């Protein structure tokens, strides 16, 4: 018998993968969680029916959400990840030689447990001595911190369920205050084809807080529409003037200085919609 999983990406569009084995299915206090072994993309983490990451394409998203802000900051030592309980983003952060401490604030300890059990190539990073895992609400944590973090990365689910508050003005304000003087912030912001209104809203708020705010994209095969976006806010440094020497030395599969620069180049229509005055 064949077993297929479908993520309904919109009311009228889905992505379907053939499943070899269902490794874990559970309802946590926060969300529905599944780890499925797929023929095409390997093991896959699914939260509330939405594909979070697969073994085959996770490197694109994790490298791009991490190395862009980490190389825009001149010397990131203290870093915060909100969400990202699978450990993929932390794994990439640990590649930066100046890093002293990374704190992962994940609301759902079941996500961390599932990743530790079934996604070791991502979660192994969580055992590094520079890593601290805190199971608590990311928005509340950020509100309690002032001038602490060089880089803050929001590696959350989409704005439904537990992540809704991570896409709101008061949260971004608190992020700004939790950052150091040259602080850099990045959040995932869904698909430029399917969710342009959301990106515009996020960008508008980040612009009102940070002198530099820009969207960038990367092609992630298993995410809705295949093209994904991120919004970056920076207190001082421009994201396209970064330390290319440092970027070149990183051991990566997708990210490179060229890819970093190119990621900020948007197709005409998307650019016109998101950055009409530039």
Binding site for ligand AG3 (CB under 6 A): 7, 50-53, 84, 86, 88-89, 155, 157-158, 188, 223-224
Residue 175 or 237 with smaller CB distance to ligand AG3: 175
DSSP string covering 119-137: -HHHHGGGGSTTEEEEES-
Long-range contacts of 5-10 (CB under 8 A, 24+ apart): 5/36, 5/38, 5/44, 5/46, 7/46, 7/49, 7/50, 7/51, 7/224, 8/49, 9/194, 9/224, 9/225, 10/194, 10/224
Residue 7 or 150 with smaller CB distance to ligand AG3: 7
Query: Minimal distance in Å, beta carbon 238 to ligand AG3?
Result: 26
DSSP string covering 5-24: EEEEEETTEEEEEEEEEEEE
Catalytic residues: 155
Q: In what order do the strands lie in the sheet with 131-135?
A: 131-135, 101-106, 78-83, 149-155, 179-188, 227-234, 212-219
Residue 71 or 89 with smaller CB distance to ligand AG3: 89
Would you say 130 and 94 are in contact if contact means Cβ atoms under 8 Å apart? yes
Query: Minimal distance in Å, beta carbon 169 to ligand AG3?
Result: 21
Residue 8 or 238 with smaller CB distance to ligand AG3: 8
Residue 147 per-residue DSSP state: S
Query: Minimal distance in Å, beta carbon 276 to ligand AG3?
Result: 26
Q: What angle do CA 162, 109, 77 make, to 5 degrees?
A: 90
Residue 131 or 237 with smaller CB distance to ligand AG3: 131
Q: Is 138 exposed, middle or buried (0-12, 13-18, 19+ CB in 10 A)?
A: buried
Query: Minimal distance in Å, beta carbon 135 to ligand AG3?
Result: 16
Query: Minimal distance in Å, beta carbon 182 to ligand AG3?
Result: 25
């Amino acid at each position: 018998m064949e077993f297929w999983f479908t993520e309904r990406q919109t009311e009228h569009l889905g992505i379907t993968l053939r499943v070899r084995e269902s490794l874990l299915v559970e309802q946590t206090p926060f969300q529905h969680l599944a780890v499925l072994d797929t023929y095409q993309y390997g093991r896959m983490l699914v939260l509330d029916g939405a594909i979070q990451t697969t073994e085959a394409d996770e490197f694109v998203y994790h490298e791009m959400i991490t190395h862009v802000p980490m190389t825009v900051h001149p010397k990131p030592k203290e870093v915060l990840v909100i969400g990202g309980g699978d450990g993929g983003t932390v794994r990439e952060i640990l590649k930066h030689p100046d890093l002293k401490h990374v704190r992962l604030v994940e609301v759902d300890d079941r996500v961390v447990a599932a990743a530790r059990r079934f996604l070791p190539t991502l979660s192994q990073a969580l055992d590094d001595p520079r890593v601290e895992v805190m199971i608590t609400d990311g928005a509340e944590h950020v509100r309690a911190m002032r001038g602490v973090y060089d880089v803050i990365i929001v590696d959350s689910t989409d704005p439904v369920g537990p992540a809704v508050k991570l896409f709101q003005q008061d949260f971004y304000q608190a992020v700004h205050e939790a950052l150091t003087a040259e602080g850099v912030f990045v959040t995932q912001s869904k698909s430029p084809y399917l969710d342009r209104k959301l990106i515009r809203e996020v960008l508008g708020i980040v612009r009102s807080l940070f002198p530099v705010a820009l969207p960038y994209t990367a092609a992630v095969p298993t995410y809705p529409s295949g093209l994904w976006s991120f919004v970056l806010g920076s207190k001082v440094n421009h994201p396209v003037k970064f330390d290319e020497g440092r970027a070149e030395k990183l051991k990566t599969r997708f990210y490179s200085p060229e890819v970093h620069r190119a990621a900020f180049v948007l197709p005409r229509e998307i650019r016109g919609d998101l950055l009409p005055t530039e």
